[in-house]
Amino acid sequence: MSNTDLIIPERSSDIGSFIVGRILPFREKRMVGPFIFIDHMGPSTVAPEHYLDVGQHPHIGLSTLTYLFEGEILHRDSIGSVQKITPGSVNWMNAGKGVVHTERTPEELRNGNQHRIHGYQIWVALPANKEDMEPEFFHVAAEGLPRWKQKGVNITLVAGSAFGKSSAVPIYSPLFMIDLEAEDDSVFEYDESLFGELGISVVNGSIKACGQTIEAGNMLVAKELKNCGFELTKGSRVLVFGGEAFPEPRFIEWNFVATSQEKIAQARQNWKDRRFTMVPGEHDYIPLPPMLLQKTS
């Protein structure tokens, strides 16, 4: 889940109750609850000679969440999972002590035609007592996610719990991720089922918060939940996510997340020495990049 050509960088500024910022992590806020990394992928056109091909790469200490609006991706991993993700469904992989995976355009779409791809690829840090768990993979189909309509907004609970409902995605820490689609100009109000820290990513359209209009491509981080209500313009789409922050910081380096630099260093050496279990049927290898260790707060 590291296709850096598709990351949308954002500038950040303080507008009162929110920080307007780039997709995670950014300098002013490294994490939102347990969410540590967010890629807004596309919208892009996938065509011959430019198919999606993210080769074998490793992860530790995190869960990956893939959620698409358009297009398809084929996931393969080192524990034997092979799963196509389609719009509205969720791929959820717990890396734990170490997993390797690939993400590619499915073979049936490599037919000389072009198609659109648009979605989010997200990392959720695992709690300290789950860092070294055995890796797992889960897929939840679109029809298996809670969906309802509220005050002109179609709501999908992608992961976690909110508004008295729970997603089937098997999480390991208190969190929520909600997909909002506004049929009309609407107001999203704070609900007591939302807790901890909260982020808002404007996918398309715009929202109004703190007296300002925030356009698509920006992410907001609420400083106080009691001030996090906002207005959605008709046709807008927004992801709301967050949850309880961990008591200890996280280190993040390349595709690795850990509570200690030592775990990061060991994972780097293991990948360099090719000691990770690789993906059955895959043969490429993304080399270890130079070390650029970051610490979250």
Per-residue confidence (pLDDT) for residue 1, from 0 to 100 = 38
**Whether residue 56 is found in the same domain as residue 92:** yes
Q: Are residues 73 and 197 in the same domain?
A: no
pLDDT of residue 29: 62
- As given in the structure block, the two tokens for residue 6 are 């598709």
Q: Could you tell me which of 68, 4, 3, 62 has the C-alpha nearest to residue 35?
A: 62
Are residues 44 and 134 part of one domain? yes
Q: Are residues 96 and 217 part of one domain?
A: no
CATH number of the domain that residue 129 is part of: 2.60.120.10
Intervals of the chain under pLDDT 70: 1-29, 223-228, 291-297
Q: Alpha-carbon dihedral of residues 178, 116, 231, 157, nearest 10 degrees? A: -10
- Residue 255 in domain: no
Taking the model in full, what pTM does it have? 0.88
Asked if residue 107 and residue 39 are part of one domain, the reply reads yes
Q: Is the Cα torsion angle 242, 244, 247, 250 positive or negative in sign?
A: negative
Judgement on whether residues 188 and 43 belong to the same structural domain of the protein: no
pLDDT at 28: 54
Both 267 and 218 in a single domain? no
> Which domain covers residue 165, as residue numbers?
9-33+146-243
**Residue 250, in any domain of the structure:** no
Question: Do residues 21 and 166 both lie within one domain?
Answer: yes
- 254-280 pLDDT tens trace: 999 999 999 999 999 999 999 999 999
Q: How many Cβ atoms are within 10 Å of 261's Cβ, its own excluded?
A: 12
Residue 283 in domain: no
HEC assignment per residue over 3-40: CHHHCCCCCCEECCCEEEECCCCECCECCECCEEEEEE
Q: How many domains does the chain have?
A: 2
pLDDT for res 19: 37
Q: 196 and 237 in one domain?
A: yes
The Cα 204–Cα 235 span in angstroms is: 8
Residue 81 CB partners (closer than 8 Å, separation 6+): 75, 93, 101, 137
Token look-up 């001030």 returns 227
236 in a domain, yes or no? yes
Both 128 and 97 in one domain: the answer is yes
Looking at the structure, do residues 70 and 102 belong to the same domain, yes or no? Answer: yes
CA–CA distance from 247 to each of 239, 244, 259, 296 (Å)? Answer: 25, 9, 11, 11
- AA identity, residue 189: E
